[in-house]
Amino acid sequence: MTPLDQDPGPAASAVLVVRALQPLVRAEARAEAPAAGVDPADLEQGVWVRLLERRAAAGPPAGPPADPARWVRDTVRSEARRARRTARRERPYAGAEPAAGPADCPERAALGAAERRALRSAMARLPGRCPRLLEALLDPGDPTYREIAGELGMSQGSLGPIRSRCLGCLRRMLAAEVVAPSVRG
C-alpha cells in the first residue's frame, strides 16, 4: 500500500500527494529542462500549479492522478512545450535598456574592488623589479613589450622570463593568503 492509496482527508491528502510525487517531478523536470531552455525549478513549479488546477477543477474529493508517473511525465513535457512556445514568442521591448546583469550589481563591484586591492598589495610586496614590471604590464594604456622594456631599462628579450618568474612568485604569494576551504562533515 503506497501513501497515495490512503485516504486521510483533503489537506493531508494533498501533502501526501506532493511528498509522493516530488522526487518524480524533480527528476522529470531536470531531464526536460535543458531541451526546453528553462530552469528545472520553473518546470517543477508549473507541474505543481497544474496539480492544484486539477484538484480545484475536480472539487475537494479529488485524489491523486490514476497513473501518477504518467501524469507527471505528461505534465512536465507539456510545461516544457509551453516554455519553448513562450520563449519563441517573447520579444524584448524596443529601445528598452537591458536589465542590470550580474557584473553591474553592487556586491560584484565591491568584490572586484577588494580583489584588485589585494592584487595590488601583493604586487607591492614582490621582490626586485617585479612590482614595476607588473605595474607596467597592467597599465590601461596597454603598452607594447618594446615600450615597457624602454621604460624599465631592460632588454625586450628578458621581459618574458622575468614576467614568468614574477607571476609565479605572485601566484605563490596569493595562494598562501587564501585559506583553503575546510572539509565539512
User: For the segment 79-126, what is each residue's pLDDT rounded down to a tens digit?
Assistant: 989 888 887 787 766 665 555 555 667 888 888 888 888 888 888 899
- Residue-level pLDDT at 131: 92
Task: Read off the pLDDT band of 162 (50, 70, 90).
Answer: very high
CA distance 82 to 59: 26
pTM here? 0.43
Q: Where does 107-177 sit in CATH, by number? A: 1.10.10
* Residue in 75, 87, 101, 59 with CA at minimum distance from that of residue 21: 75
Neighbours of 30 (CB within 10 A): 14
Domain-wise residue ranges, the chain:
3-88, 107-177
